[in-house]
Structure 1
Amino acid sequence: MRGSTDPLSTAPSSAVYPTDDPAAADLITAAVQTMAAKGYHGTSVRDIAGSAGVAVGSLYNYFGSKHGLLALILNRGMDNLVENTEDALLQAGTDPVERLRAIVGVHVGRHTRSPLESLLGNSELRSLEPDARAVIVTKRDVQQRMFERVIADGVARGVFHTAHPRETALFVISACTAVATWFRPDGALPAAEVTARYQDVALDAVGYRRP
């Protein structure tokens, strides 16, 4: 993104794809930065274009509207999260403990690496029009069901001992998502340690009895 001296603001957003036109990539990164700071409704098209260093009309050319840009950011975030979680499950094998560690690792990792995108996903879903919001909610449900299946399988196999697997899955995924609200790269705990601790907390929550 041009016109900024802040290293954090010049880093491309995780919602940017390698195939994006450079101007579109600048607009996506600028939108994440400005919407995270001002909120969707407090951010104007002119704010985004000015931060990106492009003409206002460029946003409409690439995304149709400010709403279209927000929808793209949220959709790409969920697509990335679901795809990475599915991949982690495929690589984790059949052990419920390793499967839970894997998906918690992906979910926490996403929210430590992309806190602004995660903030938008949590706070601005309400700003989407009903049809666009329904798409994101469906993708969130897919992610939630992966947690539910892993925990339910662990209970069925006698590895986890929670009496409420569905509610425990919701608790775990909500806790992992909330990492984005407090984690800072320059904070006391590095991302890897945060992830490891949340993996342990998740195993405690499902009633795993360590040997």
Structure 2
Amino acid sequence: MARTIGSHGPTTMEAIRKAGLRLIFEHGYEAMSLRQLAAEVGIQPGSLYNHINTKQELLSDLIQDHINDLLRELEEALRDKQTPVERLRAFVAFHVSYHMTRKREVFIANSELRSLEPRNYEAVVALRGAYERRLADILSDGMSDGVFDVVDLQVATFAIIALLTGLCSWYRPGGRLTKEAIIAAHEKLVLSGVMPQGASPGGGHPGQGTRE
């Protein structure tokens, strides 16, 4: 039986969020009940309402907080990166690293969009759009500088994010490749896909070497 931890305070709210994240990941939003959530945390079902108004509110908060974390941490990863190539490498490394460690949040943010009410759905889509625009801006700057050759900006943006997020379906800690090797493999896939034929992934143009 779960230990009763009380029904007030930030400790309980954090426990509710962690339990909700796990239960939604394991059983799905529709299958999880508030009674089940309360039992997992160790409080009475009625005590949940000291912290959340509805199950829908909990789902929306979990997804929006996840994407806000994604945006905030991306900005930090891109800090001081000057060229489009440097910024794209940083984007890839950040996205891959983040998704290696936040599998539950990523899965719920993608699979439970259908469970959001219209207002919450629109808020989440707007946040996702802001993240996608950060990548689109990097690609657009590279196209303007002549270091990226992209046929369609939106297609490239969606394709790169899908490629990078795909590791959530197969990555397992302690596998054959190190984290660094997996990041390097994704960097090479992305850079080779957007740079002009014959260009170096280090950022040079065809026929040019890259500076040491």
TM, length-normalised to structure 1: 0.85
Q: In 2, distance between residues paired with 1:51 and 1:204? A: 47
Distance 2:110 2:189 in 1: 22
SS in 2 for 1:136: helix
Deviation at 1:62, TM superposition (A): 0.6
For residue 173 of structure 1, the aligned residue among 161, 186, 189 is: 161
Question: CA separation in 2, counterparts of 1:98 and 1:198?
Answer: 14
Q: Which runs of 5+ in 1 are unaligned?
A: 4-19
**Where has structure 1 moved over 6 Å in runs of 4 or more?**
none
Whether 1:53 aligns to 2:32 is: no
Distance 1:54 1:200, change over 3 A: farther
Larger deviation, residues 196-205 vs 37-46: 196-205
Structure 2 residue aligned with 1:37: 26
Deviations 1:164-193 (A, max 9, x none): 233111100111222222222233333333
Structure number, greater radius of gyration: 2
Amino acid aligned to 2:179: A
Q: Could you report, residue by residue, the CA deviation over 1:107-131 in whole angstroms, capped at 9, with x for unpaired residues?
A: 2222111101110000001101000
> How many Å separate the matches in 1 of 2:52 and 2:11?
14
Structure 2 unpaired stretches of 5+: 4-8, 201-208
Between the aligned partners of 1:175 and 1:58, the Cα distance in structure 2 is 42
The structural deviation recorded for 1:82 is 0.9
Number of residues of Structure 1 aligned to a counterpart in Structure 2: 193
Are 1:81 and 2:70 counterparts?
Answer: yes
Deviations 1:24-57 (A, max 9, x none): 1111111111110111001111222222222222
Residue 162 of structure 1 aligns to a residue whose secondary structure is coil
1:1-211 matches, cutoff 5 A = 21-92=10-81, 94-207=82-195, 209-210=199-200, 211=209
What secondary structure is seen at the aligned counterpart in 2 of 1:91?
coil
Task: Give identity over the alignment, percent.
Answer: 30
Judged with a 3 Å threshold, the aligned counterparts in structure 2 of structure 1 residues 139 and 45 are, in CA distance, closer, same or farther, namely same
RMSD: 1.7
